[in-house]
């Protein structure tokens, strides 16, 4: 992106001074800026770069670019809540680029064609133990392997994937996709030991001759509530309910199921209950829709599949299958009791009130400190207060999503690598973020986003078949071509064609341009382009 700058001062992107003629005290320079999508991605993907490859049909190059930062694009294209799209500058023209859909297309193509990540890593002789085979642990293992370290993951459960397996139903994340991306990480040389619960981290570190440990045990314990109950019927917590369904141990729920909570897990539990044969799945939530933690599209899909939601209700008492609920009202964003009561009937209750993490096994490790909720305190380098012991994912204070967990794994890997080399990892400084007001998009045309097809809701609720269909190649390429390449030159020739002095020199495909300052008069026409 050409911008005018004084040769002795930093770039001034806000002033629009006119050219300076033969004095030439201000000159155009190249200044790459940070696209808002890249800035918003918790996994740190260079989204603009891989979209540029995809729009040119260089699909494997696009996938390899994603794999530099994120080892599971087919998974992320399905389950990430794509904050990258929230800040997309394309919104100011029509609709954001459907980044997640293009990422899913590339991830699925990689699985179909059996692509492998390209990297060169000289073995370091260092060994790292990872506790937990969820998204954060898998991400750390992947990145550490790319750095040449030997990695072993020890997982307490019988399946690799953590909450991707036990917290995300198959209708959102098909298991062949999940297993395929996990297998690729294993094929790189990562050793995974299942059904191995780590109770003494320091003992296992010493016995295995590990040089560092990354702990990512997730949050697998459902929160409880103190509802008075007489002869209570079936009560489950959502975490264990979804886990049992995944393991083929689905409980018999009865005809009518109540779900208590308003997050994404509550929506998944209700939709899963419908798929298991419940005639009615009723969500009870103490706030209104505006203040629910679940994403809007999750609630929309649940409602479309026949799930009912009782907003502004809280359960006060349970007597067998009869629920007494109090009507609430919202004041200043908080639910307030009204003293009005209703009764509801349900054969089973699923509690979806959030998750806790079990970090008690770390209480004996010197130096490690905890928040009141049991999450582990880590520094900016993801290391605990015990040297060589790192932690990430849902077990540390953070937003709990797959993408955030994967980002933690990558960040921890970089700091672990630096720790093993007795150095400190310092990320490269980022360029300033480019907003729409800084783009001179003379080339813009309206080209609205293409949406991925959904299975009809009445059919979707019958089984666990994936509900969203991926893009065709034509659709994916069209969507990638909607990218504005914000803040990064894609050789549109605007500056080259506009210069009246021939001071912009074209260097060839992929090489951009250079400026001949002997010819430049500082007229700023290139900048305006």
* Fold agreement between 127-220+357-420 and 223-353: yes
Closest residue by Cα to residue 283 from 322, 268, 275, 297: 268
Which residues have a Cβ under 8 Å from the Cβ of 14 and sit 6 or more positions away? Answer: none
DSSP letter assigned to residue 34:
B
pLDDT in the model for residue 422: 96
Of the chain, the percentage scoring pLDDT greater than 90 comes to: 78
pLDDT in the model for residue 25: 63
Q: Which two tokens stand for residue 288?
A: 């209104």
Nearest 5 degrees, angle CA 165-CA 357-CA 420? 85
With cut-offs at 50, 70 and 90, classify the pLDDT of residue 226.
confident
Topology of 127-220+357-420 in CATH?
Answer: FAD/NAD(P)-binding domain (3.50.50)
* pLDDT, mean of residues 387-402: 96
* pLDDT, mean of residues 300-313: 95
Do residues 283 and 259 touch, judged by C-beta distance below 8 A?
yes
pLDDT in the model for residue 225: 81
Reported as a single tens digit per residue, the pLDDT across 397-438 is 999 999 999 999 999 999 999 999 999 999 888 889 999 988
291 by Cβ neighbours in 10 Å (0-12 / 13-18 / 19+) ranks as: middle
Chain centre to alpha carbon of residue 238: 22
What are the C-alpha distances in Å from 116 to residues 26, 156, 255?
48, 28, 47
Q: Does domain 223-353 have CATH number 3.40.50.720?
A: no
Closest residue by Cα to residue 326 from 338, 309, 310: 338
Do residues 36 and 88 touch, judged by C-beta distance below 8 A?
yes
Reported as a single tens digit per residue, the pLDDT across 462-505 is 999 999 999 999 999 999 999 998 988 878 888 888 899 999 99
SS3 content of the chain, % helix, strand, coil (to 5): 35, 20, 50
With cut-offs at 50, 70 and 90, classify the pLDDT of residue 4.
very low
Do residues 89 and 439 touch, judged by C-beta distance below 8 A?
yes
* pLDDT, mean of residues 255-261: 96
pLDDT in the model for residue 228: 78
Average pLDDT, whole number, for the chain?
91
Residue ranges covered by each domain of the chain: 2-32+489-528, 36-117+439-481, 127-220+357-420, 223-353
Reported as a single tens digit per residue, the pLDDT across 274-298 is 999 999 999 999 999 988 999 999 9
Reported as a single tens digit per residue, the pLDDT across 24-52 is 567 788 788 999 999 999 999 999 999 99
Which residues have a Cβ under 8 Å from the Cβ of 339 and sit 6 or more positions away? Answer: 326
* pLDDT, mean of residues 156-160: 94
* Strands 127-131 and 212-215, bridge-based pairing: parallel
Of the chain, the percentage scoring pLDDT greater than 70 comes to: 94
pLDDT in the model for residue 487: 85
E-state strands within 302-347: 308-310, 313-319, 322-331, 334-345
**0.85 exceeded by pTM:** yes
Do residues 280 and 256 touch, judged by C-beta distance below 8 A?
yes
Chain centre to alpha carbon of residue 397: 16
Topology of 36-117+439-481 in CATH?
Answer: Fumarate Reductase Iron-sulfur Protein; Chain B, domain 2 (1.10.1060)
* pLDDT, mean of residues 97-104: 98
C-alpha span between 261 and 236 (Å, rounded): 13
> Considering only the top CATH level, what class is 2-32+489-528?
alpha beta
Do residues 342 and 368 touch, judged by C-beta distance below 8 A?
no
With cut-offs at 50, 70 and 90, classify the pLDDT of residue 2.
low
Four-CA torsion 464, 301, 99, 54, nearest 10 degrees: 40
Which one is predicted more confidently, 509 or 202?
202
C-alpha span between 228 and 182 (Å, rounded): 43
The yes-or-no verdict on residue 346 having pLDDT over 60 is yes
List beta partners, residue 341.
Answer: 326
């Amino acid at each position: 992106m050409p911008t005018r700058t004084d040769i002795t001062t930093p770039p001034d992107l806000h002033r629009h001074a006119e050219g300076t003629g033969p004095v030439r005290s201000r000159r155009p320079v190249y200044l790459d800026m940070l696209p808002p999508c890249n800035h918003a991605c918790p996994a740190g993907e260079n989204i603009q770069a891989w979209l540029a490859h995809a729009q040119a049909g260089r699909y494997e190059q696009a996938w390899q670019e994603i794999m530099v930062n994120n080892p599971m694009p087919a998974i992320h294209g399905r389950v990430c809540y794509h904050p990258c799209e929230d800040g997309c500058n394309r919104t100011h023209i029509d609709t954001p680029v459907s980044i997640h859909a293009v990422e899913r297309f590339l991830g699925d193509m990689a699985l179909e064609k059996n692509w492998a990540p390209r990297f060169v890593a000289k073995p370091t002789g260092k060994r790292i133990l990872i506790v937990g085979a969820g998204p954060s642990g898998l991400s750390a293992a992947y990145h550490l392997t790319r750095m040449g370290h030997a990695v072993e993951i020890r997982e307490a459960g019988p399946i690799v994937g953590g909450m991707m397996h036990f917290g995300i139903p198959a209708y959102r994340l098909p298991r062949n996709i999940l297993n395929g991306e996990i297998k690729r990480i294993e094929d790189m040389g990562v050793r995974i030991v299942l059904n191995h619960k780590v109770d003494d981290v320091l003992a296992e570190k010493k016995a295995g001759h590990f040089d560092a440990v990354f702990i990512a045990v997730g949050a697998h314990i459902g929160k409880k509530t103190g509802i008075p109950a007489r002869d209570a019927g079936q009560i489950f917590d959502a975490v264990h309910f979804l886990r049992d369904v995944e393991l083929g141990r689905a409980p018999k729920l009865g005809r009518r199921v109540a779900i208590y909570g308003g997050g994404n897990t509550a929506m998944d539990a209700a939709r899963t209950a419908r798929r298991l044969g419940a005639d009615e799945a009723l969500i009870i939530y103490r706030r209104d829709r505006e203040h629910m933690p679940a994403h809007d599209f999750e609630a929309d899909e649940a409602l479309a599949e026949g799930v009912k939601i009782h907003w502004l209700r809280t359960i006060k008492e349970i007597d067998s299958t009869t629920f007494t609920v109090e009507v609430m009202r919202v004041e200043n964003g908080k639910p307030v009791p009204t003293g009005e009561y209703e009764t509801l009937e349900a054969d089973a209750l699923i509690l979806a009130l959030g998750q806790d993490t079990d970090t008690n096994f770390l209480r004996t490790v010197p130096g490690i400190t905890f928040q009141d909720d049991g999450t582990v305190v880590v520094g900016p380098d993801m290391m605990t207060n015990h040297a060589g012991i790192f932690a990430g994912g849902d077990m540390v204070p953070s937003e709990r999503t797959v993408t955030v967990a994967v980002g933690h794994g990558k960040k921890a890997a970089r700091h672990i690598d630096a720790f093993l080399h007795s150095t400190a990892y310092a990320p490269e400084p980022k360029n300033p973020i480019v907003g729409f007001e800084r783009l001179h998009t003379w080339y813009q045309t309206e080209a609205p986003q293409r949406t991925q097809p959904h299975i009809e809701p009445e059919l979707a609720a019958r089984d666990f078949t994936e509900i969203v269909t991926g893009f065709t190649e034509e659709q994916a390429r069209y969507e990638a071509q909607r990218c504005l390449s914000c803040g990064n030159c894609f050789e549109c020739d605007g500056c080259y064609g506009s210069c009246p002095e021939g001071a912009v020199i074209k260097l060839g495909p992929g090489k951009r341009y250079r400026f001949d300052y002997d010819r430049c008069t500082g007229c700023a026409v290139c900048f305006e382009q």
